[in-house]
Amino acid sequence: MFSGYKRRNRPKIEQALVDIIINRKQIPAPLELIEHYYRKEYGLTFQEFMNEPVDRLSWFLKIRELEAKRDEIDMKKARR
Domain presence at residue 21: no
Whether the model pTM is above 0.75:
no
Domain presence at residue 47: yes
Domain count, the chain: 1
Q: Which domain holds residue 56?
A: 28-79
Domain presence at residue 18: no
Domain presence at residue 1: no
Domain presence at residue 12: no
CA 79/CA 13 separation, integer angstroms: 31
> Which pLDDT band, with edges at 50, 70 and 90, does 19 fall under?
very high
**3-state SS track over the chain:** CCCCCCHHHHHHHHHHHHHHHCCCCCCCCCHHHHHHHHHHHHCCCHHHHHCCCHHHHHHHHHHHHHHHHHHHHHHHHHHC
pLDDT tens track for 24-64? 999 888 888 888 888 888 887 778 877 878 878 788 889 99
Domain presence at residue 74: yes
